[in-house]
Structure 1
Amino acid sequence: MIRSPIIVVLGHVDAGKTSLLDKIRNTSYIKKEVGEMTQHIGATEVSIDIIREISKPLLNMFKFDLKIPSLLFIDTPGHEVFSNLRKRGGSVSDLAIIVIDILEGFQKQTYEAIEICKQLKVPFLIALNKIDKIDGWKPYENKPFLESIKYQDQKVINKLEEYTYNIVAKLYELGFDSDRYDRVKDFRRQVAIVPVSSKTGEGIPDLLLLIAGLSQRYLEEKLKINVEGNGVGVILEVKEEKGLGSVIDIILYDGKIKKGDKIAFLTKDGIKTTKVKLILKPVPLTDIRFAGRNKFKEIDIAYAASGIRISADGLDNALPGSTIYVYNDEKELKEIEKKLKGDIENIIFQTDKEGIIVKADTLGSLEVLVKMLRDRNIPIKKADIGDINKEDINIALSMKEKYPQYSVIVGFNIGINKNDEEYVKSSNINLIISNVIYDLIEKIEKYINDIKYNKERILRELPPVGKIKILKGNIFRRSNPAIVGVEVLAGEIKKDVYLINLDGKIIGRILAIQKEKKNIDVAIKNDKVAVSIDDAVVGRNLFEDDILYTFISENDYRKFKENKDILNDEQKEILKEIANIMRKENPAWGL
């Protein structure tokens, strides 16, 4: 059996996400008899019959063979709910609509939405909203966009083309080929852009038909379910319900769940099991976001795909974003426990290595944040759910001495109590908190890059790290100054740098470097050059085949050590060799 595709709506604040969902919901209400309306917790179902009816003018054009039962829209728009619609290796959501205000174009959370879609491998299309705001646009209530555009003046059409092209150009910069949906030649390779108005309803038929058609054509395998199998869902939210205590809102995406079923899910303290007491669904024509207890009805059984509320004991610590499984016996539970443990081992963790501390409010948000940081090669020492606490601060403090760029705590949608905040300030630990993931990533990157830049500036002021060999048969002058041919074995040498031998004795200072009879300032690894060395005398303190190093003072060596995280392996190795030479005479050198 094929289940309904699960659709999420994303986009920047004020792009029109909620009004678009409201318009879709209202369209469904208007076109359907009250008694037939299927209601869900946290979701709106639009039946395929409604889509066929409102999209009649377009059906012949696109020739979609619609077999899916309906579309299930997640009611709460936004990135946090989307990231909680998670399952191992991807997302429960089948398709995302990214809403863009046609006049504003790409905004900060537009980029974030696309980034999260990439992370969770969710295909998306663009709803280019507020076409009614284009100067001179003539509105035609609830018409398909392809009908409405026929009645617009050329000047308005040109303006629409300009706005659309701006979006196409931005998507191209992000690595996506795209076009207005009626011009797309290959929906697998191109992102479709659907011009819509959440105010007039124009373009909504196009949007619904396209989502239904694309889901049918490209996601059929993912939509196949065993309707009689044990239920599998994802926890969207944990709430307190008067008279019931803690309840969970879930999206059931496979199988069935009934009263009395045993369920397993994740909490902050590990895996929890309990029994379903009640399954609740809203009464028809209720907007669940504003529904009170009397707006729900009890049901005995629910099938995928559906949005339901579950009442049971021990739900208060359930993790939003956790998979929830129905199981029959202990053997099944053992398998489920393995899945649940494997599910979070890469999300909630603590390592012995250096890195930043990451905290988020939900499992889904934390997973997305961890993935985005790893993509940017930002190491993580600890990732966890919940408010910032003393343990987090102490871990950040432990980073401070050796890796100051990682003495930072990053928090998404979480808090910190006043005492701990004072502790952070007095410890001089960096705290970066935001409720926009993209904003957090930008701030972390800037913070780390600023520290890296400062370290690089310090390194630029330190002497070069290099190792050279005096070439046999390349003695051009024996003294005042000695001029010899050398090969740079590792690192680099520069003018005015002092050289030491294997006993740690200073041989002299480099006065000039020549390569192919031209003066140069720097010679790097594998270069063969002539150098003049002040104070060196061939046969007395300088010999053929000698290995020499650039002189590093004890103070400079310590500065190199403090900034070793931005040194390359070759520089580290040369410094180690220099330290070993200097410690022959002074074992505590550089420590």
Structure 2
Amino acid sequence: MVTRQPIISVLGHVDHGKTTLLDNIRGSAVAAREAGGITQHIGATEVPVDVIREICGDLLRGVQLKIPGVLFIDTPGHEAFTTLRARGGSLADLAILIIDINEGIQPQTLESIEILKSFKVPFIIVANKIDLAGKFKIDKKKRRYRFLEAFNEQNEEMKQIIENKIWELIGELYKHGFQADRFDRVKDFRRQVSIVPCSAKYGIGVPEIMMLIAGLSQKYLEKKLEIDVKGPGKGSVLEVKEETGLGTTIDVIIYDGTMNVRDRIVLGGKKGIIVTTVRSLLKPKPLDEIRDPRFKFQHVKSVAAAAGIKISAPDLNDALAGSPVYVANEDPEDVIERVKNEIGKIKITTEQTGIILKADTLGSLEALVKIFTSKGFAIRKGDVGDVTKTDVTEAISVKKKDVYKGVIVAFNVDVLKEAEELAKNKEIKIFKDNVIYKIIEDYELWLEEKREEEKIRRQLGIIRPGKIQILEGYVFRASKPAIVGVKVLSGEIKPKLTLIKEDGRFGGEINSIKSKDNFLSSAKRGDEVAIALNGVTVGRQINEGEVLYVDVPEDSFRRMKEIEIDESEKETLEEFLKIKRKENTLWGV
């Protein structure tokens, strides 16, 4: 068994400095000019252990590093992170979450946090752009230097500004379920997230970032990083690409074993399992060797984990990004079954009433399923690819059973024209975005609006309980119609509602409600208004000081649980029910 390089993903909100950090690490490694320098892989950059030592300097003094280096996934962001999968989890062993220290947690930061949580990937936080936090002194002669060195050169005011911003970030992270602290104050790396203040632009904090990655990998991931380098290769498809002269190729990150030219490989396809033979394994040529873009790759005979490689092979047109890729020279049937099971665990096809999820890769589908399920949303179908007419038809049948679930979530995919037309005609809502967090937010907002609409619709058909008292000395007219001043004791009253007395007899029909010179459509608890009553005469059927109840129809009484009523309305309803059941013991049953 040998120890492979840990695979590192870089995540964070747009413009928070993901690419700048990777560029700085790459630039630092190139400048170090150590044995071998950096190796450019397909979709990844390998930084060997000698370069890590050079970057970290005496931060690693006395530390025996067993890892051969680290492999950074070049494509920053959660798209690459979710695409790269291994054994039902993330391919990344560790992640760097970049946060602009001046902007704090943003929507895509939240998205990254949700994804890291759901895949249980350990991470460190790089609090970037400290150089923009105020009048920060920078030594521009240095390509990179330690944060603590830079921090100690600042005046007291600047130090306080940085400290305050770190404390704000710690507070924000706490709200999202993480205990965090500045890296040099962390006492338990298993329980606390390390924050490295940094300026990716000027290389401040890069030594500490590399020290943490190397140290944490070695201390906590040693077992995970042990591989049988001579075993069959295992990898994950990062991207499916057309290449001039090669046709359809797949970019793969190999995380275990070795892959050779002419190996038989098994991977997932849009229409089923693909079994094919490796025609070529390609790595990028060093930048200074690229003269002609048609010859930008160099052929290799084999590649061992961890590595990024381009595979050229027949029948890759329908290859699925995020699919596992396994070498299967000896027992292809067993491997085919394994790939089927792995993909089957992510793709969902059920008969339950739930939403339909469509995503661009298996990894992003897996992230969607995890996050939607964790929020308690039922899923009927989860698949990879554009939204089709079949998806809309399925959503229509769900909508008939549950209007809130008959929707489609489309992450980073298109909606085919015929599907769009059918959805429009049948009023099927499609939530389309390339940010998972935004899709969930939009769906939750839509649910809220729909439920509010439904609540109002229900309430329109239900007569609420109401109780009034005729005020003494406020009889303006005795009959035809009787006009009296009343106080609404609970619930509400509206024109056209019938009132009954405490003995169950008729108490008049409300003709109109008036306050000062204005006619009202309703009056609620606490209001004092004048009402005109048909069918009664003051002094005969009704009297001053008397209490009257809204005569709630039996159907409305039975449906009362569909609407929200307050405690005083509940009491009034109980009193009203007693009045009704004096005449009919089964009333409202």
Deviation at 1:458, TM superposition (A): 4.0
Taking the aligned partners of 1:8 and 1:439, their CA distance within structure 2 comes to 22
Amino acid at match of 1:324: V
Deviations, residues 459-480 of structure 1 (Å, cap 9, x unaligned): 4556699xxxxxxxxxxxxx95
Which residue number in structure 2 is paired with residue 66 of structure 1?
A: 65
Task: Provide the residue aligned with 2:570 in structure 1.
Answer: 522
Report the count of equivalent residues: 498
For residues 285 and 451 of structure 2, what CA distance do their matches in structure 1 show? 58
Deviations 1:179-230 (A, max 9, x none): 1101111110001000111111111111011111001101111111001100
CA distance in 1, matches of 2:221, 2:51: 21
Shift of 1:34: 8.2
1:189 aligns with 2:237: no
Q: Hey, what does 1:474 align to over in structure 2?
A: none
1:346 equivalent to 2:345? Answer yes
Distance 1:335 1:287, change over 3 A: farther
Once the two structures are TM-superposed, the CA of residue 161 in structure 1 deviates from its matched residue by: 0.6
User: Is residue 368 from structure 1 mapped to residue 416 from structure 2 by the alignment?
Assistant: no
Give 1:274's aligned residue. Answer: 276
Deviates more, 1:454-463 or 1:64-73: 454-463
**Following TM superposition, by how much is the alpha carbon of 1:322 offset from its aligned partner in structure 2, in angstroms?**
0.5
What is the Cα deviation at residue 284 of structure 1? 2.6
One-letter code aligned to 2:347: I
In 1, Cα distance between the equivalents of 2:443 and 2:312? Answer: 40
Query: Cα offset for 1:535?
Result: 7.1
Which ranges in structure 2 are unaligned for 5 or more consecutive residues? 465-501, 506-548, 561-566
**Is contact 1:231-1:254 (8 Å) kept?**
yes
Contact 2:232-2:328 within 8 A present in 1 as well: yes
Checking the alignment, whether the CA contact within 8 Å between 2:389 and 2:416 is kept in structure 1 is no
User: Counterpart of 1:533?
Assistant: 579
Change in 2 beyond 3 A, CA 1:365/1:464: farther
Cα displacement (A) at 1:418: 3.4
Partner of 1:6: 7
C-alpha change, 1:507 and 1:234, in structure 2 (3 Å) is closer
1:41 alignment counterpart? 42
Whole-angstrom CA distance in 1 between matches of 2:287 and 2:352: 54
**2:577 & 2:128 partners in 1: Cα distance?**
69
Structure 2 match to 1:476: none
Matched, 1:27 2:28: yes
Deviation string, structure 1 residues 394-426 (Cα, Å, up to 9, x no partner): 112222333111222111111123343233222
2:373 equivalent to 1:325: no
1:402 corresponding residue in structure 2 = 401
CA contact (8 A) 1:230 1:255 kept: yes
- Is the 2:412–2:433 contact (alpha carbons within 8 Å) kept by the matching residues of 1? yes
Normalising by structure 2, report the TM-score: 0.79
State how far apart, in whole Å, the 2-side matches of 1:287 and 1:369 are.
41
Determine the structure 1 residue equivalent to 2:521.
none
Match of 2:512 in 1: none
Question: 2:181 — aligned with what?
Answer: 179
- Cα gap change, 1:53 to 1:459, in 2 (>3 Å): same
Cα deviation, 1:336-364, whole Å, max 9, x if unaligned, reads 22222221223222221211111111111
Instruction: Give the 3 Å change call, closer, same or farther, for CA 463–287 of structure 1 in structure 2.
Output: farther
Change (3 A) 1:168 1:507: closer
Indicate conservation of the 8 Å contact 2:233/2:257, yes or no.
yes
Q: Does structure 2 conserve the Cα–Cα contact (< 8 Å) formed by 1:481 and 1:532? A: no
Contact 1:495/1:521 (<8 A) preserved: no
Structure 1 residues 286 and 270 mapped into 2: Cα distance closer, same or farther (>3 Å)? farther
Pick aligned residue for 1:216 from 215, 218, 224: 218
User: Which residue is equivalent to 1:226?
Assistant: 228
Any idea what SS the aligned residue of 1:533 has? helix
Q: 1:554 — aligned with what?
A: none
- C-alpha distance 305-159 of structure 1, shift in aligned 2 (>3 A): same
- Percent identity between matched residues is 46
Q: Choose from 154, 157, 168 the match for 2:159.
A: 157
Instruction: Please give the alpha-carbon distance, in whole angstroms, between the structure 1 residues aligned to 2:40 and 2:580.
Output: 89
Of the structure 1 ranges 392-401 and 227-236, higher mean CA displacement relative to structure 2 is found in 392-401
Give how far 1:280 is off.
Answer: 0.7
What CA deviation, in whole Å up to 9, does each residue of 1:353-388 have, x standing for no partner?
211111111111111111111111111222111111
Larger Rg: 2
Give the structure 2 partner of residue 390 of structure 1: 389
RMSD: 2.9
In structure 1, runs of 5+ residues without a counterpart are: 466-478, 483-493, 501-505, 511-518, 543-547, 552-591
Correspondence 1:18 to 2:9:
no
SS of 1:415's equivalent in the other structure is coil
Q: Tell me the equivalent position of 1:114.
A: 113
- Residues 534 and 199 (structure 1), Cα distance of their counterparts in 2 relative to 1, 3 Å cut: closer
User: CA 1:507–1:369 in structure 2 vs 1: closer, same or farther (change >3 Å)?
Assistant: closer
Q: Give the counterpart of 1:243 among 238, 242, 245.
A: 245
Deviation at 1:429, TM superposition (A): 1.5
Stretch deviating more after TM superposition (400-409 or 77-86): 400-409
Structure 1: distance between partners of 2:503 and 2:104: 70
SS for the counterpart of 1:72 is strand
Q: Deviations over 1:36-67 (max 9, x none)?
A: 5423111111111111122123235xx64321
Contact 1:348 1:382 in 2 (8 A): yes
Residues 1:550 and 2:588 aligned together = yes
TM-score (norm: length of structure 1): 0.79
Alignment of 1:440-451 (within 5 A): 440-451=439-450
Contact 1:286–1:295, Cα closer than 8 Å, also in 2:
no
Q: What amino acid is the match of 1:84?
A: T
Q: Is the 8 A contact 1:116 1:368 kept in 2?
A: yes
What residue number does 1:299 align with? 300
Change (3 A) 1:86 1:149: same
1:98-119 CA-to-partner distances (Å, cap 9, x unmatched) read 1111211111100001111011
Q: Residue in 2 aligned with 1:308?
A: 309
Question: For the residues of structure 2 that align with 1:421 and 1:379, how far apart are their CA atoms?
Answer: 23
- Which residue of 2 is the match for residue 203 of structure 1? 205
